[in-house]
Structure 1
């Protein structure tokens, strides 16, 4: 009996979440969410910087490719030390990006196109130019404990030293000294990004008010950034001081780099999950009132056991979409991955996530090297098939639908503070996020159609003459057209509600099956650089001829071609969506 139960549980964990329970799916549960880095998407006023009006002018593109929602990078007022991830005023639109009237127009146009708008929200820290921080540094009675303040140490030469050895994600000490307060403040990112103190109930209430404010404008959700860094250990448990973190043992990390330490006191604290549950209550209250789900997404770079806790446990609600970085982590291995790693990463998430919760998939974002540059341009279609045809929510970073590559950003043009903090004109490129943030490529014209400016904030990537929306829209075959085909396929019941099963048919070849009743599909992809022959009858009830529904750009197969299920020859980098003929 126990053996039978284990087998049953294993099967259930890889089904679509709702198909066996006849529950009505909410708008977000099978949504395609399109991530827009606003600064680089479309410039409407010719200053070389993307803006909200630019996003509005290009919403038709999202409609064309089948996106259901646009998720915008931070648009709140900011001195732009970290390009919006350092917020000075959460209630005001950043002037570089426009006005609240521009934002209202965006919401109006999006509503007309039935596209939801989701905002990026950064509660872990503010800008050091925030009124809150300025008042806290001056020991204002109300704002005094809004940030993490601590006394330092004095060495034998009279120098003030940080309270402990904590290191910032941007490198070097995560403590900076504030003379007018004669204390150090914590910043887990840049010096201009002081961490808020979420052990203060007043701070928690203020953050909830901000969430409510923006949801009231009509946005359909928010992404809570760096959620697992929100809490630090409670210093009261250590005699009123913050303890040192142990060394990680990472032999490839310098003593001033983030990976040098094991961050047991500055991330993944248990209190975080309770706070996320409180945030969810704000989302749910407005959702119930308006009869429209406001979706909460959470971003936490952590291990899988911690990541799935953000779904919520027991009676405690969590995020609708706790970000799944499984595929990104596979690609972080460089060239040291194959089809077996892909299968393991997908099946592992499907197994760990709660049974009735939706999975989600992504292959890139504004912090990662672009897919076409991390792997090969010829594999773009294969990875888009994964993201769009696996069960659950699909998240696409702008440009993945046309196979954009990294831009070449020289040291002289580098803007990313993470790269600038290296002070190294050679090694900066190893950490720079700028190459994945270069302007979106709309056309082969000036600045790739992104801006009429003489100079854009980051240079346009090489190759834009061929890699752009206009050229791919008019081409006979292109990544753009494959992407549109995939989002249309995604609307079919087998992909929205169907079951899932997968095989690594060869170290180079990954395949998965999606089916609902008698409607069955096989998605197969060759990640290798050589020709492979595979037998798809390894899947139950797959036999005879299969019909091609979609194929990668360089495939010799096209729509409605027939292929044998028991002897399928796949060219290097070829990816196919096949339908079982009934």
Structure 2
């Protein structure tokens, strides 16, 4: 009887787990309608009280990521690093930084994620390493083959004065060249001075980076997000880049040059193809290993070269709180119409990330749910930044508080234009010490002061919250109408955008009001939808109640509100 009791108890627990956390898709096409949750490890959860988020902290919160319906988590860099740029300055690509834990901790995270049905995607930083990397130290000493692992050039002597090889500028600001006294040459750094650019014209370096990818794939990761891939190659002639006519930026600001010799060179696609082949070799006996790319141009070429998800940043870079319904329709249609005609290629929609202001800051509190609705109702991959599922806000920083090197270098008058600290503050779990992020009152970045009322614990028990809206959206995303349905975008009025998905008798209609005041319209006629639909989910401040019936012949959407309507079979 005792053994039977233990068996029944275990079975009950398993059933409870599988009903509260959706079973995730597997197979070669698992990513095509997926929700990818971007975790910034330093700010997600601190497990040891040092004020810095870590791997064990992430592992302890994986249930939350599964609970909100994510299929995969993407981790910003966790590699050994001096942390000048908080992990994007890698000193060892095949080990975990002590701030975040150990390789054993990483293995535990992966195992727990897989148990919960979650894929794990790592950030890969191939363009540059830290100048504290052993490769760089050996390159300085001209030890083969490391002597060619980085971009080295002789100085240009003008009137007896040493000058950089050309006028190339760093993304951060100032010359992209730094003199190394030991080697008596300049090295290229398209980002911060401690981040030396790697030389992809070296076959040995290319093989070295493939070894890195193999190392992590052998630890059962499911893919990589490739950081700043558009910078991988530089023109071999090292010509000066032409100046752009920009009057409101300092002369040494990155935007003052047209980067025709340092960005988006064709050789990038050959390297990407080689990484795709490597990932495919690991996919032969497993689910597809995916490649996400941070690229800013010609996404068709990235698709065709092997990126499953060439990031679509339209919601971050091209659209803002001043954009009209027509602007949104035009850019959504352009993206969908220009995806290469291949069933392997799917759209993607990035709501936010660690480098840009949060959605609630960019679009306003009333529109905090709008981008999540678009990203989940539109076809393809949804990419969500941690905290956006509860509508977290940016925190304002003084220059003295600023930690981001890009903000610090910009100086006290321009730091607020460059710093990424506001969107990187710790996740707000509850109203306890440091928002439940850490047991310490001192965290690496200060917690937003609004955590007492804006936190996950409160939203779990509140009738209408960003968290509950997001969970309902992720459930809807798994239905055939979203995964397989047709897509139509309609300008209902000057200020009202309609997104319609159809599959058989099922209909999903997302209606967004871009005006600050209420708009009433005949959505039935303009969107060709049923006369009666049910409110499936609505933005938090809309006061449109889930489950209520709507007459679409005269629908009124409050100012800055969004609502998802469905047929009864989807409720």
| TM-score normalised according to structure 1 size | 0.91
CA contact (8 A) 1:327 1:345 kept: no
Which of 401, 420, 440 is the equivalent residue of 2:427?
Answer: 440
**How far apart are 1:414 and its partner, in Å?**
1.0
Number of the residue aligned with 2:14: none
**How far apart are 1:544 and its partner, in Å?**
1.6
1:291 is the counterpart of 2:278: no
Greater shift in the superposed pair: 347-356 or 75-84:
347-356
The correspondence of residues 37-436 of structure 1 with structure 2, limited to 5 A, is: 37-156=40-159, 158-235=160-237, 242-288=238-284, 290-300=285-295, 302-303=296-297, 306-312=298-304, 317-331=305-319, 334-355=320-341, 356=343, 357-422=345-410, 424-436=411-423
**Structure 2: distance between partners of 1:521 and 1:116:** 28
**Structure 1: distance between partners of 2:212 and 2:420:** 28
Q: State the SS of the aligned residue for 2:510.
A: strand
**Structure 1: distance between partners of 2:32 and 2:400:** 44
**How far apart are 1:105 and its partner, in Å?**
0.8
Show structure 1 runs of 4+ deviating over 6 A: none
**Structure 1: distance between partners of 2:271 and 2:387:** 34
CA contact (8 A) 2:500 2:527 kept: no
CA contact (8 A) 1:311 1:318 kept: yes
Number of the residue aligned with 1:504: 491
CA contact (8 A) 1:545 1:581 kept: no
Matched residues, number: 541
**Structure 1: distance between partners of 2:419 and 2:291:** 28
Q: State the SS of the aligned residue for 1:463.
A: helix
**Structure 2: distance between partners of 1:25 and 1:578:** 31
**Structure 2: distance between partners of 1:89 and 1:194:** 14
Greater shift in the superposed pair: 558-567 or 184-193:
558-567
CA contact (8 A) 1:409 1:458 kept: no
**Structure 1: distance between partners of 2:466 and 2:239:** 51
**Structure 2: distance between partners of 1:529 and 1:273:** 44
**How far apart are 1:244 and its partner, in Å?**
0.0
**Structure 1: distance between partners of 2:92 and 2:396:** 33
**Structure 2: distance between partners of 1:393 and 1:401:** 16
**How far apart are 1:328 and its partner, in Å?**
1.2
Gap runs ≥5 in structure 2: 1-26
CA contact (8 A) 2:129 2:198 kept: yes
**Structure 1: distance between partners of 2:37 and 2:178:** 37
**Structure 2: distance between partners of 1:361 and 1:472:** 25
CA contact (8 A) 2:244 2:258 kept: yes
CA contact (8 A) 1:152 1:162 kept: yes
Please report the RMSD computed on the Cα atoms of aligned residues, expressed in angstroms. 1.4
CA contact (8 A) 2:189 2:195 kept: yes
Q: State the SS of the aligned residue for 1:482.
A: helix
CA contact (8 A) 2:492 2:527 kept: no
Q: State the SS of the aligned residue for 1:548.
A: strand
Number of the residue aligned with 1:238: none
**How far apart are 1:293 and its partner, in Å?**
0.8
**How far apart are 1:159 and its partner, in Å?**
3.0
Q: State the SS of the aligned residue for 1:411.
A: coil
Which of 454, 469, 475 is the equivalent residue of 1:488?
Answer: 475
Assess, with a 3 A threshold, how the Cα gap between structure 1 residues 230 and 392 changes in structure 2: closer, same or farther: same
**Structure 2: distance between partners of 1:462 and 1:109:** 32
**Structure 2: distance between partners of 1:484 and 1:580:** 19
**How far apart are 1:546 and its partner, in Å?**
1.3
Gap runs ≥5 in structure 1: 1-23, 236-241
CA contact (8 A) 1:38 1:50 kept: yes
> What do residues 345-402 of structure 1 show as CA deviations (whole Å, max 9, x unaligned)?
2111111111221000012110001111112111111211001111000000001000
Q: State the SS of the aligned residue for 2:390.
A: coil
| TM-score normalised according to structure 2 size | 0.93
CA contact (8 A) 1:409 1:459 kept: no
CA contact (8 A) 1:340 1:507 kept: yes
**How far apart are 1:580 and its partner, in Å?**
3.6
> What do residues 148-180 of structure 1 show as CA deviations (whole Å, max 9, x unaligned)?
001112232x43210000000000000000011
**How far apart are 1:560 and its partner, in Å?**
2.3
> What do residues 422-449 of structure 1 show as CA deviations (whole Å, max 9, x unaligned)?
2x22321111000000101001111010
